[in-house]
Amino acid sequence: MSGTIGSNILSHSGTIAESAAGLNWVSDVVTASTVTVEAGNGYWINTTSNTCTITLPASAEAGDNIVIVDFARTWGTNKIIIDSNGLNFQGNADTYTVEYTTDGQSVNLIYSDSTKGWLPLEDDVAALDHIPPPTQRAAFAYGQVGSSSNTSLKNLMNSSGVIASDVTGVGTARRMISGATYGTDKGIFAYGYVSGNVNMSNLMNNSGVIAADVTGVGTARRGTGSTGYGADKAIYAFGLAGADTNLSNLVSNVGVVASDTTGVGTSRSELVGVRYGGDKAIMSFGTIAATKTNLISNLGVVASDTTQVGTARTAPGAATYGGDKAAIAYGTTGSVTAVKNLVNASGVVGSDVSGVGTARNSIAGVGYGGDTGAFAYGTTGGTNYVSLKNLMNNVGVIAADVTGVGTARATLASAGYSLSA
């Protein structure tokens, strides 16, 4: 191939409706890795499981029209490739590779003549403007239970904030692991430390069942920040890999972890990630001398550092509340603390609020019940692990300690799951 023609996303707000109105829309959704299309038709292309090569007709007349649509908003994960089948595409010979790689894209092709060939009249992206529904339940899993003992224990929490007793773990026992929600109602636990850093992951279904290890993708590290973003995706960023890094790895809406993305922001570890504003996220605090924040767009793009207010600290927890806000609480400054900082719906971190509950670090936080949050487990120093929990209401107020919930441990992970209470 002598070149690549990529997506050409137009900034206008037009739709494909006018030229698509006379099309014959093929009712069967295309899920195969190859399909040959015909002029006068519209096609729904679902690349959830694989890329798809779309072969255009071998001959065409001026005005011939074909429309292809990203059915499942997965072209960003599994692209489509257009084979112009001997005809030109945008004035370029068939020796060029034509790819579309953006979620939610629709391509409206018109044939012009033998010189220009097929032209994309429009290749707009349909905005995904709905906010993901909140998860109702959560899981706390993995962590450290002794001076050098890891665990894969799991404790499920219901939509009322009640944490169940221990469930025997699945997957490799490890600590300094991170969790996040993906696919709107499922969870993922990834990275961590066994006897060295690892990059394996374990998916959790919408019933709270954790699956076996998945071979790792990306740089092995521990103490990453993790959070959901967009409607149904997740991201892991930063972490310790020999030295602190600022790498990131996106997670698709089917739980596939992507390869490393070159980092943005100050390298650090033992930070937290959490959603805000419904579909965006923030990474904050960690092993640095100053308070640094990195906002994450609803497309998973990590922004450069913003210096925030609040006491700099390591290994806090974070949880959503109120539908579009978050709280970052607890951690260590060298001494454990229970201080709290609220994050508003625009991603602005507020000043310190005096803590409630036992001061501790290496704690896990998570949203539950639709609009409330919880902070659980942790250490009050060294191997003084606790099994305390503190529930947070829908205006960000953290309640007093509740004792004795499962095996005491620290450096564990949490993830929300299930849309059913």
Residue 227 confidence (pLDDT) above 90: yes
* pLDDT at residue 14 is higher than 50: no
**Percent of the chain, pLDDT > 70?**
93
Q: What pLDDT was estimated at residue 309?
A: 84
Q: Residue 27 contacts by C-beta under 8 Å, 6 or more apart in sequence?
A: none
pLDDT band at 78 (very low <50, low <70, confident <90, very high): very high
Banded model confidence at residue 97, pLDDT cuts 50, 70, 90: confident
Average pLDDT over residues 312-329: 96
Domains of the chain: 4-122 (2.60.120.640), 137-417 (2.120.10.80)
Q: What is the pLDDT of residue 162?
A: 97
Residue 108 scores a pLDDT above 60:
yes
pLDDT value, residue 20:
44
Residue 37: pLDDT band with limits 50, 70, 90 = very high
Mean pLDDT across the chain: 92
- Cβ-based neighbours of 173, under 8 Å, separated by 6 or more: 142, 150, 151, 152, 194
Give the model's pLDDT for residue 289.
65
The pLDDT of residue 246 is: 96
Predicted local confidence at residue 9, as pLDDT? 39
What is the per-residue DSSP string for 11-53?
Answer: -S---SHHHHTTSEE-SSPB-SSEEE--TTEEEEE--SSS-EE
